[in-house]
A and B are shown apart, each in its own frame.
Chain A
């Protein structure tokens, strides 16, 4: 089954404790991205990757890092999480030219 998977689905952590949210897709897509969803703000792009070893900032990259060492994986790293990073995070991948993206199930992160 074609899908985007994320782990963990739920995470509660404390300020400053480094964490990684994993994302994997099995559709051989080149383009992958991370979004955060906040009430009243919709989805905003954090980082994206056009291909292996090619990443770039989205609209809200501060406080986040990403890496793309393999085509299928695109982890999101929070080196020193802060409470304002409490949010619902989605990973997505895209194949083809149109721009349609496939989303993972989401990771709900709470930073206390």
Chain B
């Protein structure tokens, strides 16, 4: 069964500092992996996705994530945090379209706070 673990429910950084949000997954087949962002009072917006092509994936707003099969990880990074990055971030895994259910399994989320 698939699962996602996000380490740290809350991460605080200073503006301009490195952002690192951790995600580990469990999947019985090669996974598709996603990071979503949720700004206050809004729905979820896709930041980036891994679909078995390049292991380093670049997304919107300067974020990127690296798929490491040996570590079963898909950590999200951004070199320099901006105040507008303050939001909740969700890592999710899917085993692909043809699997029964093919649900997105979400982690519990990490709230990112950015201070000036």
Which partner residue on chain A sits nearest B34 by CB separation? Answer: A100
Assess the A98–B103 pair: CB atoms within 8 A: no
Is A24 positioned at the interface, with any CB of B under 8 Å from its CB? Answer: no
Residues of B within 8 A of A35 (CB): 106
Residue of A nearest to B108 (CB): A42
The reply to whether the CB of A61 lies closer than 8 angstroms to some CB of chain B is no
A31 at the interface (CB under 8 A from B): yes
Q: A94 CB to closest chain B CB, in angstroms?
A: 8
Write the chain A residue with the least CB distance to B102.
A99
Known: A40-B108, A42-B106, A48-B101. A97 touches B42 (CB 8 A): no
Task: Give the residue of A42, A59, A103 whose beta carbon is less than 8 angstroms from that of B107.
Answer: A42
B residues within 8 A CB of A4?
43
Is B49 at the interface (CB under 8 A from chain A)?
yes
- Interface residues in chain A, defined as those with a beta carbon under 8 Å from any beta carbon in chain B: 4, 31, 33, 35, 40-45, 48, 56, 58-59, 90, 92, 96-106
